[in-house]
Amino acid sequence: MCGIVGYIGPEEALPVLMNGLKRLEYRGYDSAGVATIDGGLTIGKKVGKVTELEKLIAANPPGGTIGIGHTRWATHGEPNDINAHPHTDQFGEIALIHNGIIENYATIKKTLESDGYTFRTQTDTEVLVQLIRAFYDKGNSLERAFRLALKSVVGTYGVAMISTIEPDRIYAARNGSPLAIGIGDGEYILASDASAIVQHTRHVTYLTDGEMAILERDKYTTKTIDDIPVTKEIEEITFDIGELEKGGYEHFMLKEIFEQPDTIRNAMRGRLQRDESTVRLGGLRTVTEKLRDARRIIIVACGTSWHSALVGEYMFEQLAGIPTEVEYASEFRYRDPVIFKDDLVIAISQSGETADTLAALREAKRRGATAIGIVNVVGSTIARETEAGVYAHAGPEIGVASTKAFTSQLMVLALMTVKLARMRRMGAAEGAQILKAFEELPAKIEETLAHAEQVRAIAHTYAGARNFLYLGRGYNFPVALEGALKLKEISYIHAEGYPAAEMKHGPIALIDENMPVVFVAPDDDIYEKVISNIQEVRARSGRVIAIATEGDERIESLAEHVIYVPRTLPFLAPILNVLPLQLLSYYIAVERGCNVDQPRNLAKSVTVE
């Protein structure tokens, strides 16, 4: 959460900062601000979107070739002009931006106040910048003051600092919140992620926890906050700037929904080993024996990734015969989980930076389990801290509500399932059949997305509903959960996902003529059970929207609306069945005038607990 950008080089800093903030706005959009040095320190900040900041500074844009910028997702202090970043020390010589939470800020603030330091905001970030000032006032160099302050705080941070005391330096550090350094031609760009860097350079290095960087005009230095030099590997950004544009679509979310034929192809590319009817996953090469001998799989994830994990649980158990548990990462670390050394713990995260998932992963590693990651962002923390892993290759996902990353996660889980199953109990003939089904998926996704106008019409009918119920069974129960989550996230309509059979144990009391009920009802081995559940809803005047398999004419007499998807193998059906639900939530949100890409109170990458 929160977006950080910094620039030092020969060009005017402000255009680079503003462009970077726009790229990073999906990380938080409660307020935005910039600080530059051009003789003195100039601060501009404003509550609201980056466009509001643009209006504020348009008449008198701050100059200078060094600066920092921030777009905020509020944790401490309500979103307003005062609490917006950057924050300064009481003398106006140091400016700081911060992503994360300083847990011991109240104690530090009380001490600083007793020493005569005054505070203007409600934020933990102002406490940090004043603490740096306090250490500087005690005779330390600015660098040492920066390091001492960071060693004194408890919590997570990604920070960047500039000061008129040293007007040609940017200080940066991370502990739990990502920071990348773009290395350009005589310039450096600091950012929360590579989307703000790629326009300027493809060469990037990533700070890890406990590290800091000093960016100067002719060099950069990396070290630990204990002042131990660190040599960093320079990596190359793999995506193109065009992937960060809307490409003619009204919203990023809609673009990303329609990118899914390609993202599923990308997830499979180079991984199907047809001659042996199995899957090649190079990122798992070092743990092959552990995969084969694993007694149990534990998957830790949050939000949409947790839903993909639930589908993965069905896959691993039914096809590979491996007992699998799915855990909310946010709960996993705070109990005393029983973990064995022959367990596989898989962490799933689109960003690879999700704080709870990373903490759960570290706990599993501490207890001796084999740690595997499924992430989308190359170079992310989870990717670096796992023993092995698989990239989803979905490309940048800008829409806050995840769509293409979800289906790419499902595809990776399916690939892993086949690899494990072929190592354990699946025959070559069945493996070949599954690989054929994999290859057919992108075309079937295109066929499903061709029903978009039908979904738009259904959305128009139900955009005024106050509640939705989503029901599914087996592999499609998690699809119901995901459909409900998408609707809540972007349209602000209350929605619940349930196993269809559990409807009778409470939710059925809510059903009346005003309740739309979405059934995920493919023609599989529990189809008749779902049909019975539909009948129960119809008997209570509920309005049924069904996601059904092509050729199923029977369901048309039971549902007011039927959206057909092509037939595929049952464990791959969630990839197709979720597509109409993504479109339904999108079109309902548009009908209601909601900000689809930046829904209220949410941010893309949750890097705080």
Query: What tens digit of pLDDT does each residue of 248-259 get?
Result: 999 999 999 999
Are 56 and 46 a contacting pair, CB within 8 Å?
yes
Interval 536-559 mean pLDDT: 92
Six-digit token string for 521: 């009802």
The SS3 assignment for 19 reads: helix
Task: Please give the model's pTM, rounded to 2 decimal places.
Answer: 0.88
pLDDT tier at 1, thresholds 50, 70, 90: low
Distance CA 399, CA 257 (A): 10
Least confident of 128-132, 275-279, 533-537: 533-537
Q: How many CB atoms lie within 10 A of CB 119?
A: 14
pLDDT for the residue 604: 65
pLDDT of residue 239: 81
For 165, half-sphere exposure in the C-beta direction (CA atoms, 13 angstrom radius) is 21
pLDDT value, residue 98: 95
CA torsion sign, 415 to 178 to 357 to 288? positive
CA distance 101 to 80: 18
Mean pLDDT of all residues in 29-39: 93
Report whether pLDDT(302) > 80.
Answer: yes
- Tokens of residue 295, six digits: 């007694």
Question: Each residue of 6-21: pLDDT tens digit?
Answer: 999 999 999 999 999 9
Token pair listed for 555 = 């369901």
Nearest to 2 by CA among 94, 70, 84, 101: 70
Mean pLDDT across the chain: 94
DSSP state letter for 229:
B
Supply the pLDDT for residue 607.
Answer: 59
pLDDT digits (tens, 9 = 90+) for 52-103: 999 999 989 999 999 999 998 778 778 889 999 999 999 999 999 999 899 9
Nearest to 496 by CA among 519, 520, 471: 471
Please report the domains of the chain, with CATH numbers, ordered by start residue. 3-237 (3.60.20.10), 249-448 (3.40.50.10490), 451-597 (3.40.50.10490)
**How does residue 42 score in pLDDT terms, banded at 50, 70 and 90?**
very high
Instruction: Average the pLDDT over 417-436 and give the result.
Output: 96
Tens digits of residue pLDDT in 346-361: 999 999 988 899 999 9
User: What average pLDDT score do residues 468-493 get?
Assistant: 97
Omega of the bond leading into 522 within 30 degrees of 0 (cis) = no
Given the residues 2, 45, 290, 404, the one annotated as active site: 2
Give the active site residue among 109, 255, 404, 604: 604
For residue 434, give every residue at least 6 positions away whose Cβ sits within 8 Å of its Cβ, in sequence order, or none: 418, 569
Q: Average pLDDT for residues 535-554, to the nearest whole number? A: 92
CA distance 255 to 249: 6
Residue 328, beta-bridge partner list: 301
123-146 mean pLDDT: 97
| Percent of the chain with pLDDT strictly greater than 70 | 99
Instruction: State percent of the chain over pLDDT 90.
Output: 82
pLDDT of residue 508: 84
pLDDT of residue 119: 95
Torsion angles phi and psi, residue 546, rounded to 5: -115, 135
110 an active-site residue? no
Q: What is the pLDDT of residue 609?
A: 58
How confident is the model over 457-473, as pLDDT tens digits?
A: 999 999 999 999 999 99
- State the pLDDT at residue 503: 83
Give the model's pLDDT for residue 218. 93
Q: How confident is the model at residue 414, as a pLDDT?
A: 98
* CA 551, 552, 554, 557 torsion-angle sign: negative
Which pLDDT band holds residue 228 (cuts at 50, 70, 90)?
A: very high
pLDDT for the residue 521: 95
Q: What is the pLDDT of residue 608?
A: 60
Q: Cα dist. 317→83, 125, 477, 487 in Å?
A: 49, 46, 16, 29
Residue 234 has pLDDT above 80, yes or no: yes
Whether 604 is a known active-site residue: answer yes
- What is the mean predicted confidence (pLDDT) over 256-269? 97
Q: In this model, does residue 606 exceed pLDDT 80?
A: no
Name the least confident of 70-79, 181-190, 435-444, 544-553.
70-79
